Amino acid sequence: MLDFNNLEVAFSSKSKKELHNAYFLFKTIKSPKMVKFLKWASNIALKLKVPIGWVVKPTLYKQFVGGETLSDCNKIIDHLKKYNVKATLDFSAEGEQTPEGIQATFEETLASIDFAKGNPNLAYAVFKPSTITTDEILAKASEHPEQLTPEEKKLFDEYRERFAALCKRAYDNDVRLIVDAEDYCFQDAIDAQTDEMMRLYNKKRAIIFATLQMYRHDRMPYLEKIYADAQEKGYIAGVKFVRGAYMEEERARAARLGYPDPICKDKAATDANYDAGVKYVMDHIDRFEMFMGTHNEESNYLLAKLIEEKGLEHNDPRIYFAQLLGMSDNISFNLANQGYNVTKYVPYAKVKDVIPYLIRRAEENTSVAGQTGRELNMLSAEMERRRKQK
């Protein structure tokens, strides 16, 4: 029976020292003041080029990042394999949007797709479209494509060529590729090309996956549109579900520019929208493959229940559960222990390049009622369980 409170399974991969280190880390980032200080200090250090790897690497970096390079990630890939959990490697460097930075990110993403080829322990590859162009070009092409200058159109065409090249490499390597979701102002252009790539490469199985941020109230109509298109044109739609990552920024931008707020009215509405999307895909699983990315226990229980109700195998290759490395191990490892397909999102990049990502992880998890509080409670309970066993 699936039970996310099974501590023995949840933390079977952690030594006593690793448990204590994780507890100390989450205890530290529980404080909003501490997280604000860490953000301020890291920004100053990066600007002044002060080395801070000696502080970050054994703490935040070790908890949430797989390594600096693809080959560095082999250690965590092999570790997860022991517990029937696969990895999804995500190049998480926050590089400058210069021609050189864009080209370097493009080439690294190609390398990550090649790295995943033929490796049964790597479930997907992934890329963020805004890392292979500039924010300005992507926003204008999404919201006002008719206003692109000839030079901007050339830059946008180059972006589309990079996007298409990544998708073709994934198809040639038989590697499933997730196109990550972005800000509202970027998403229309991303959706249009993702749809195009799904039609081209998903004829026999899902290779290209669109990401739907379900805190947007327009994502269910988009999901229904994908399904109708897949039926009409004869392909398998790949869908990744997340709740969303840019709520405050989205609401502020909508208010500033005077367009309707794209975000659901509250968390309950977001949760309902998310679960409706999962149910819709499961009701039409003949035309979908699904990557469900969430740390919400109820949504994970829901999908497991739907798999049972529809008489599908726990390890049906069309369905994956996913959580971030270093978080919600109680969900990941208990699902894997029951034979479900599970993958951990494993970021990798050099310490200085991944610090913005790490600070976001810390910022997202400062609420006692949120992720940090849950992690601390679980870790504390497991340490107590082990003490009683002595």
388 with 331, same domain: the answer is: no
136 with 31, same domain: the answer is: no
- List alpha helices for 122-149, DSSP H: 135-143
Whether the predicted pLDDT of 220 surpasses 90: yes
In tens, the pLDDT along 277-327 reads: 999 999 999 999 999 999 999 999 999 999 999 999 999 999 999 999 999
Determine contact, residues 70/330, Cβ cutoff 8 Å: no
Query: Residue 125 — pLDDT band, cuts 50, 70, 90?
Result: very high
Look up the domain containing 290 and give its range. 69-348
Q: Give the C-alpha separation, 220 to 225, whole Å.
A: 9
Mean pLDDT of 9-35: 85
For residue 245, the 8-state DSSP code is: S
Whether the predicted pLDDT of 126 surpasses 50: yes
Whether the predicted pLDDT of 32 surpasses 90: no
Query: Residue 367 — pLDDT band, cuts 50, 70, 90?
Result: very low
202 with 290, same domain: the answer is: yes
110 with 194, same domain: the answer is: yes
Whether the predicted pLDDT of 159 surpasses 90: yes
189 with 46, same domain: the answer is: no
Read off the amino acid at residue 218.
D
For residue 321, the 8-state DSSP code is: E
User: Which of these, 124, 61, 114, 120, lies nearest to 88 by C-alpha position?
Assistant: 124
Percent residues over pLDDT 90 in the chain: 76
Counted domains in the chain: 2
Residue-level pLDDT at 334: 98
User: Which of these, 177, 186, 231, 252, lies nearest to 213 by C-alpha position?
Assistant: 186
326 with 210, same domain: the answer is: yes
Determine contact, residues 126/149, Cβ cutoff 8 Å: no
- Angle, CA of 332, 338 and 340, to the nearest 5°: 65
159 with 277, same domain: the answer is: yes
Whether the predicted pLDDT of 157 surpasses 60: yes
87 with 3, same domain: the answer is: no
In tens, the pLDDT along 238-289 reads: 999 999 877 888 899 999 999 999 999 999 999 999 999 999 999 999 999 9
Query: Residue 48 — pLDDT band, cuts 50, 70, 90?
Result: low
Residue-level pLDDT at 349: 93
Determine contact, residues 262/216, Cβ cutoff 8 Å: yes
Residue-level pLDDT at 368: 39
DSSP element (H, E) containing 88? strand 86-91
Structure-model confidence comparison of residues 320 and 23, the more confident one: 320
Whether the predicted pLDDT of 93 surpasses 80: yes
Q: Which residues pair with residue 179 across a beta bridge?
A: 127, 210
Residue-level pLDDT at 46: 63
Whether the predicted pLDDT of 90 surpasses 50: yes
Per the prediction, the chain carries an average pLDDT of 91
Whether the predicted pLDDT of 106 surpasses 50: yes
DSSP element (H, E) containing 21? helix 16-29
383 with 322, same domain: the answer is: no
Residue 252 structure tokens = 């502020």
169 with 22, same domain: the answer is: no
CATH classification at residue 240: 3.20.20.220
Burial 244-281 (b: 16+ CB within 10 A, else e): bebbeebeebbeeeeeebbbbeeeeebbebbbebbebb
31 with 95, same domain: the answer is: no
Query: Residue 45 — pLDDT band, cuts 50, 70, 90?
Result: low
Q: Which residues pair with residue 75 across a beta bridge?
A: none
Determine contact, residues 124/291, Cβ cutoff 8 Å: yes
157 with 279, same domain: the answer is: yes
